[in-house]
Amino acid sequence: MPDDKARMPHFGSGEGMWRYRALLPDIDREVVEQRVFMGEGGTPLLRARRIERDLGCREVWLKDETRNPTGSFKDRGTALGIAVLVRLGFTALGTVSTGNMARSVAAYAARAGMEATIWVGASMPAQKLAPIAVHGARLLRIDAPYGEIYNASIEWSRRSNVPFVNSDSALRVEGQKTIAYEIAEQLGGRAPDWLIVPTSSGGNFSAIAKGFQEAAEGGWLGGHCRLVAVQSAECDPIVRGWEAGSDEPIAVPPPTTVAGAISNPSPPSGARALRWLRRTDGRALAIPDTHIEAAQLRLASSAGRFAQPASAACLAALERLRDEDVVKPDDSVVLLLTGSGSNAPPPAVEVAEARLLADVMGELDRG
């Protein structure tokens, strides 16, 4: 295992994820700079020392994807997808989303001067619709199960000749694998013992696994990283497939969960995620919503990061893995914070009532 970055290759110029241009599909620099780039990628890896102390871990890191332009990791895949589509001459695109991806596609399409068609479920909370619609996208709320919406989008795309950059798109995988590249660099060419990933469609999970594999094959990543897929107990088709020893996820009924960003009852890349889990000797965990909500508040109060419930599920998963002694005290762990808390309904917290200034100052006078 390397002690420094001596084995790391020189990735050349570029900001954010674009410094890995040589490992991505061929894209004109001018297209990226003038019609795509908004600061995607290059997110920090933050040491969480209070969490380390509380859980008895040697190293806990937060890979903070909330710092992307629209507040989630989706911007990496969206940026690459739009850059490729612009190069190919497309003027419109679409996506099917439960929230983060819809906002990302709407924003990046506006930046690129493209038309965006966004399909979302009819039950999407109203507070998540305005940040999508504000960018001028064509927003369609569809009353059907997610799996049916997803499959229909593929047929609609074929008939309309408008490409849909959905969760498991190959272009998204190529953009989102740069998360793994960055972690490898930020840890000095050393793989963490564990990477805990909120998992919905399985596309991002597979992208990160692919990125680590490429880094290892390229000779610039030492050690072995075990991947953990985390889902809500209210929507856990990949976990069910894992526990059943199946090669496929086990579909679940339409869910109701606080972790909407990982609410996908029929994950299109679920089988791929299961293969990566077995290949990396990983784990799949389902976390109850009550534990996710509590972890969201703990993450904010102990690490200063207000993340979506889906992201907070990583902390709840680490707590369980430590309780069960699966993660050892000497292990290094990275928690992937996939989305900002501002992209989700607010948590239930007590807010102070308004008080008169004279009453506040009077308390000081009375000691």
Angle between helices 203-217 and 270-279 (to 10 degrees): 40
- Domains of the chain (ranges, CATH numbers): 16-71+171-343 (3.40.50.1100), 74-169 (3.40.50.1100)
Handedness of CA 153, 170, 204, 309 (dihedral sign): negative
Q: Is the pTM of this model over 0.75?
A: yes
Angstrom distance (rounded) from CA 37 to CA 107: 11
pLDDT per residue rounded down to tens, the chain (367 residues): 344 443 667 776 678 999 999 899 988 899 999 999 999 999 999 999 999 999 999 999 999 999 999 999 999 999 999 999 999 999 999 999 878 899 999 999 999 999 999 998 887 777 778 888 999 999 999 888 888 888 899 899 999 999 999 988 899 999 999 999 999 999 999 999 999 999 999 999 999 999 999 999 999 999 999 999 999 999 999 999 999 999 999 989 888 899 988 988 989 899 999 999 999 999 999 999 999 999 999 999 999 999 999 999 999 999 999 999 999 999 999 999 999 988 776 777 777 788 888 888 888 888 6
- Say if residues 109 and 137 touch (Cβ distance below 8 Å): yes
